[in-house]
Amino acid sequence: MELKLEGVAHRVGAQDFLYPLDLALRPRTLTVLLGATQAGKTTLMRLMAGLDRPTRGRVHVDGRDVTGVPVRQRDVAMVYQQFINYPSMTVFDNIASPLRLRGTPREEMARRVQAIARRLHIEPFLQRLPEQLSGGQQQRVALARALAKQAPLMLLDEPLVNLDYKLREGLREELGALFSTGDATVVYATTEPGEALLLGGWTAVLDAGELLQYGPTAEVFHRPASLRVARAFSDPPMNLMAAQAANLGVQLASGLQLSVPLPPQAAARLVGQLTLGIRAGALRLQPREGDVALPGRVELAEIAGSYTFVHVDTAVGELVAQLSGVHALALGESVVLYLQPAQAYLFDGDGTLLRAPQEP
């Protein structure tokens, strides 16, 4: 399916939920809608589905204008945050319900339900009622029913947000594999940058009702077009430092100078206030050749799984380092963070990207 939105916007009363945007989804590809709560993700998905009509703009499916065509007249499958199953029907009948509506022969229906249940690891529960399942298993049933429909457009609005951590991790990997082999155009909304990276595909970054950037997920992550995109697509947040142009690169507020390699077109725009960005994972406790040292004191050290997040008060402000492994660091302890200038991002006074590190 080719889904194209032209100048689409949505307003309710005096409040704008979505500002005019153009977006042409990659057919038969996963697109992640990434943004904070109230960024406009659900509003955009409702317009794609036909649940709402845009205040302005047009929606096209395979070259046909479907603006205003209600969802019941479109071939769309949807999964929400709150899993919705028919409580009086078995798991088998829940998954088979869209196939029955289409008059699918019984043998083919059984074969397809079994195959989908096997892929989502719920085959042993086909004769149970939804209330007899865990939350994660119930969400798998809702996903299985959407997959069984085989709609050319599948919309998933933060479908894993209410599940516990282990269930989310397992389902993310399964969904990524499922979507990569399917024929549907899939749209998946999330607030989590890590989830977008894990799912891959393409990512559309939204903020406060505006579409900021759309492209291959890895490209958007490594080359955020603006400060707003960098903030939205960083977890933990990118470290941002005020800077100005200097003879051999940039100078931070502390007076520290960094020789940041710049392409010729970017060097010509080094005027006024700049912003230097460093991802938390690019800061280290051990120096390498060419590193710049940033001494400071530990304000907080958080151990999360296989990483330690260290908040350090430095002369250029508070920085957060994401360190591999478990590090025992006491509050107030003196530490030195090291960074490679080549790993720095640089944004101009308007927040537009001037340079990004080369992708690893």
**Lowest pLDDT segment from 15-24, 135-144, 325-334, 347-356:** 135-144
How many CA atoms, within 13 angstroms, populate the side-chain half-sphere of residue 185? 17
pLDDT surpassing 90 at residue 286 = yes
| CATH for the stretch 3-225 | 3.40.50.300
Predicted local distance difference test score (pLDDT) of residue 282: 96
Q: Tell me the one-letter amino acid at 52.
A: D
Tens digits of residue pLDDT in 297-351: 999 999 988 899 999 999 999 999 999 999 989 999 999 999 999 999 999 989 9
Residue 317 CB coordination number (10 Å): 16
Structural domain boundaries of the chain? 3-225, 239-355
In this prediction, residues 3-8 reach a mean pLDDT of 98
CATH of 239-355, one of 1.20.1260.10, 3.40.50.2300, 3.30.750.24, 2.40.50.140: 2.40.50.140
Q: In the chain, what percentage of residues exceed pLDDT 70?
A: 98
> Each residue of 190-240: pLDDT tens digit?
999 999 999 999 999 999 999 999 999 999 999 999 999 999 999 999 999
Distance CA(38)–CA(207), nearest Å, equals 8
Determine phi and psi for 45, rounding to 5 degrees: -65, -35
pLDDT of residue 359: 64
Q: Please check whether the two domains, 3-225 and 239-355, share a CATH topology.
A: no
Q: What gap in Å lies between CA 196 and CA 203, rounded to an integer?
A: 7
Per cent of the chain over pLDDT 90 is 73
- Mean pLDDT over 36-63 rounds to 96
Quick one: pLDDT at residue 85? 92
Cα separation, 203 vs 234, in Å, equals: 13
Residue 291 has pLDDT above 60, yes or no: yes
Structure tokens at 282: 């690019």
Average pLDDT for residues 177-183, to the nearest whole number? 76
Q: Which two tokens stand for residue 242?
A: 């005020």
Is the pLDDT confidence value at 360 over 70? no
pLDDT of residue 273: 86
Instruction: Give the CA distances from residue 29 to residues 15, 182, 221, in Å, rounded to whole numbers and listed in that order.
Output: 32, 9, 18
- Assigned token pair, 285: 């406790």
Task: Tell me the mean pLDDT in the region 37-64.
Answer: 96
